[in-house]
A and B are shown apart, each in its own frame.
Chain A
Amino acid sequence: MVQFTSVHVFYLLDAATWTILLSLLAFAGGAVLGITLALARVSRLRVLQLLAAAYIQLVQGTPLLILLFLSYFGLSILGYRLHPVVAAGMSLTLYAGAFLGEIWRGCIQAVPRTQWETSDCLGLNRFQQYVYVILPQATRIAIPPTVGFMVQIVKSTSLASIIGFVELSRAGQIVNNSTFEPFFVFTCVAAIYFAMCYPLSLSSRYLERRLNVAR
C-alpha cells in the first residue's frame, strides 16, 4: 500500500489533459453534427425534419454508457476493433451532436419571426436569410447554453474510463488501486473536475446575463 502523495496528484493532473483533449474532440465532432441536425430540424423538407427528430429522440432516450458499450464492445464483435479513445470520441460525438442539435434548433427558433419577414421583404433568398440575418443572431443566443453544455461534455468523458481509456477518472481508479485511499483520491479527482467545469458554468451564466441586458 502506497501513500497518496503529490506524485499521484501530478499523475491525475496529467490524465486531466486527456480529459480536456477528449472533450474538445467531442465538442468539435458534436458541433458539426449538431449544426447539421439543427438545420435539418428547421428545414422545410419534412423528411429531413423527421429523420433529425428521430435521431435526436433515439440518442436522448439512451444512456451514454450503452452508446459507449455499443461502439467499443459491440463494434469489436462485428470485427471493428476501435481504440478506446476513438470509440469514446465517436460515442461522445454522436451524443453531443444530438443535444447540441436540440439546443441550437431552439436558438434558431428563438430569433423573432419579424426578422424572417423583414429579410424576406428585402428580397433575400432563404440561404441569404440564414447566413446574413438568422444565424448570426441565433449564434449570439446560442453561446450561453452551449458553454453550459460543454460542462456536460467534460463530465461525460468520465464514462470513457469504463472502456479503458486513461483519462482523469480511470487515473483515479488506478491510483486508488495502489494507495487504497478512495476517499482522498476520488475527492481529489472531483476537485480537478470541478476546477475544469466551474469556470465554464460561471462563464455560461455571465454570458447569459450579458446577453439579456444587451437585448
Chain B
Amino acid sequence: MSRAKLRKDIVPVAPDAAAETVVRVSNVIKDFGTVRVLDSVSFDVMRGQMVAIIGRSGSGKSTLLRCMNGLETIQSGEIDVCGHRVSLPGKLDKGQLRQAVGIVFQSYNLFPHLTVERNITLALTLVQKRPKAEARRIAADVLNLVGLSEKIDAYPEQLSGGQQQRVAIARSLALSPQVMLFDEVTSALDPELTAEVLKVMEDLQQRGMTMVLVTHEMGFARRVADITIFMHKGKVWEIGPTAAVFANPATTEFAQFIASVL
C-alpha cells in the first residue's frame, strides 16, 4: 500500500478505472464458544461504495466488522481486505493492514490525556514516521474536513459526544486508509449530536471513500448507502442496491424489521 500524501480530496476514483474489489468476505463462520455468531457470510465491497449493514442487536453485525480488521478471529472462511488475507492471523502483516483499514468505534476511544491534535498526530509520527510539521499539517486538514479546526488544542473531555466522534473519524482519516469501518458510531450519541456525525460521513462518501458501516440509522442508510446488507442471527438475509432492497424485501424477517424501525 503506497503511503501517499493526503490530498485535499480523498482518494477520488478516476471515472474510467475498473471497479476494484476492496473487501471480499467469503463463507465466514465464527463461533463464540457454542454460539454460532456468523454463519457462512459472504459479500464484496467495491472501491468507492458505501455498504450499510443493518439488523437487530445480536445479529452479528459488529462482530463481522471486527473480523474485517483482525480484531476477532474466524473459524473458517476467508476475508481479503485491500490485498491482505485477514483470516490468517499468523501470516497477517498487522501494521500494513492497520494502514489500509481505518475503524471508528461506538465509544470513540479518544486518548483522554492527549490534545485533539496529538490524538491525530500520534500514529502519523509513530507509525507512518512522518515529520512533525507534516503531521500537524495533516491534522489541521482533517480537522477542517470534519468541521472542528478551532478545537485543535482542546482535550477530549472538553468536547461534546458528537465532536469527539468527529475527531475520532478525523484521527482514522488522517492515516489515508483505503477503506473505513464504522461500528455503530452514532448509537452512543444524543439525537441532536447524531446529525453532525452523519453529515461528516456523507461528506466522506461524496469524496469517494470506501466505507462499511454498521448502523441503526435506517433513514441515513436508505438515503446514502449504495449497498445494504440485512443480517439476522448471523446470516445475510438480504443484500443488494439499497433502493431495491428496501422497496422489495425478499424475506419476511426484513419486512418485519423495516416495519418495526421505520
- Asked if chains A and B are in direct contact (CB within 8 A), the reply is no
Q: List residues of chain A with CB under 8 Å of any chain B CB.
A: none
